Amino acid sequence: MKIQIKNGRLVDPANDLDAPLDVFIAAGKVIGLGIAPDGFQANRVIDAKGLIVCPGLIDLSARLREPGFEYKATLESETEAAVAGGVTTLVCPPDTDPPLDEPGLVEMLKHRARGLNRAHVLPLGALTMALAGERLTEMAELTEAGCVGFSQANTPIQNTRVLRCAMQYASTFGYSVWLQPQDAFLARGGVAHDGEVATRLGLSGIPVCAETVALATILQLARETGARVHLMRLSSAAGIDMVEEARSRELKVTCDVSVQHLHLSEMDIGYFDPLARLDPPLRAVSDRDALRRAVATGGIDTICSDHTPVDDDAKQVPFSECEPGATGLELLLPLTLKWAREMKAPLIDALGRITSNAAQVLGIQSGHLAVGAAADLCLFDPQAHFRVTREHLRSQGKNTPFLGLELLGQVRMTLVAGHTVFESGH
């Protein structure tokens, strides 16, 4: 299949390219930009007038809920949501049931994802068996099965000795370790940021020091073990400062933030809205503002959706009893664009946070559109409005604090390896 995408505005952050260029695709790859390669005969010409043509988005955290939580979501429903959101590569955390701690589970997941032939699914293996924080998993075997890194999802290892060993072992092979900085004891029982709102609503708090204490440990161990560390879901201004300080002293760590945390704060809990219960918790407005700035300055490398589909039953309970998380695959792009508009950040920078920067964190040859790159593309209309409604969302999870919000930026077409995996009219 040979495809020509014409009349679009090509934005490729990795190559610092923002220009009205046609894209020529053959055999699943980009084979030309601007001028058609010799003898190119398109089977299909796509008119991208008024659209942005960019690399397919890379989402560093999307829970697909398989295996074990199929009542919340399935690979089928969530990869459909992914491509509808322009996401062509996603990283799924290991907190399934059972957790991804055995090669067989990972192989099955990869096999199922290949069968669906939509977004590329890159699993994170469990860092410890059953995520229990005691025994290491077979990281070499898991890597062979397709894991791109190792993580505890949001179940931190309490025993610092085990954490140190896990990081040492992973670094033996150069595997990356993805950690959400949250001290298990300081966070225990907490359901909201330990601040004004939690105090007013009588919710048990998760203090900022749950993040900073864990960060201090992780950064120190990263320095000592030489492990490649990716810090997931920073939530506080103090946390950002620590990471920036460590990086200024040549420590190579990367970090991300959830797109929810760029727009919301503890105030959005309102009258106990369970949709605003997230992990890590939404923090103070000043923390949110610091996160927004850090994404602009590069203090935070990437924005992810932290997509967590939750069934209605698990949200229609009191705030402290509800399951944390928000669905987000389909909102990653419009919410990133919203951040960019509000921060007056250039479009190319915004798209870099959800394409090339994420590819760099993963260390994969993806997220760009140079000649020879895989033809993973997203075409979106930056001026198209839509309202976030339950009906609009393809994800099985309808749980998002943005329900009812009007957003700008709608995906019109998504290509994976040159195949059209999503296409919408108006």
Partner 1 sequence: MRNPQLNKSGKLTHLLSIEGLPREILMAILDIAEPFTEVAEREVKKIPLLRGKSVFNLFFEPSTRTRTTFEIAAKRLSADVINLHIGASSTSKGETLLDTVDNLSAMQADMFIVRHAASGAPYLIAQHLSATGREYIHVINAGDGRHAHPTQGLLDMYTIRHYKKDFTRLRVAIVGDVLHSRVARSQIHALTTLGVPEVRVVGPKTLLPACVEKLGVRVYHDVRQGLKDVDVIMMLRLQNERMQGALLPSPQEYFKVFGLTADKLALARHDAIVMHPGPMNRGIEIDSAVADGPHAVILPQVTFGIAVRMAVMSMLAGN
Catalytic residue among 194, 256, 279, 306: 306
CB of 210 to partner 1, least distance (A): 12
- In terms of DSSP H, where are the helices of 47-181? 75-84, 103-116, 139-145, 160-173
Of 278 and 304, which has the nearer Cβ to partner 1? 278
Instruction: Look at residue 401 and give its three-state secondary structure.
Output: coil
**DSSP codes, 35-77:** SPPTT---SEEEE-TT-EEEEPEEES-B---TTT-TTT--HHH
Of 42 and 314, which has the nearer Cβ to partner 1? 314
CB of 195 to partner 1, least distance (A): 5
Of 121 and 388, which has the nearer Cβ to partner 1? 388
8 A C-beta contact, residue 230 and residue 253: yes
Nearest alpha-carbon partner for 65 in 97, 91, 106: 97
- Quick check: is 306 catalytic? yes
Q: Element (H or E) spanning 287, and its range?
A: helix 285-297
CB of 338 to partner 1, least distance (A): 20
Six token digits for residue 115: 């069968």
CB of 112 to partner 1, least distance (A): 32
- Cα–Cα distances in angstroms (integers) from residue 165 to residues 95, 162, 185, 228, in the given order: 21, 5, 20, 14
Of 73 and 208, which has the nearer Cβ to partner 1? 208
**DSSP codes, 135-151:** SB--HHHHHHHT---EE
Instruction: Kindly tell me the number of DSSP H helices and DSSP E strands found in the chain.
Output: 14, 21
- The span from the CA of 364 to the CA of 358, in Å, is 9
- The span from the CA of 363 to the CA of 344, in Å, is 29
Q: Give the start-end residues of each E strand in 174-270.
A: 176-179, 192-193, 205-206, 228-231, 253-258
* Residues in Cβ contact with 42 at an 8 Å cutoff, skipping those fewer than 6 apart: 2, 3, 4, 24
CB of 71 to partner 1, least distance (A): 15
CB of 311 to partner 1, least distance (A): 12
Tokens 């025994």 locate to 135
Six token digits for residue 245: 């300080």
CB of 328 to partner 1, least distance (A): 23
- The span from the CA of 282 to the CA of 271, in Å, is 14
Of 39 and 189, which has the nearer Cβ to partner 1? 189
CB of 232 to partner 1, least distance (A): 25
Q: For the chain, what is the radius of gyration of the CA atoms?
A: 21
Of 289 and 313, which has the nearer Cβ to partner 1? 313
- 246 pairs with which residues across the strands? none
- Give residues in contact with partner 1 (CB under 8 A): 194-196, 198-205, 207, 270-272, 313, 316-321
Six token digits for residue 328: 């987000």
* Residues in Cβ contact with 220 at an 8 Å cutoff, skipping those fewer than 6 apart: none
Of 129 and 209, which has the nearer Cβ to partner 1? 209
Of 69 and 272, which has the nearer Cβ to partner 1? 272
Catalytic center residues: 306
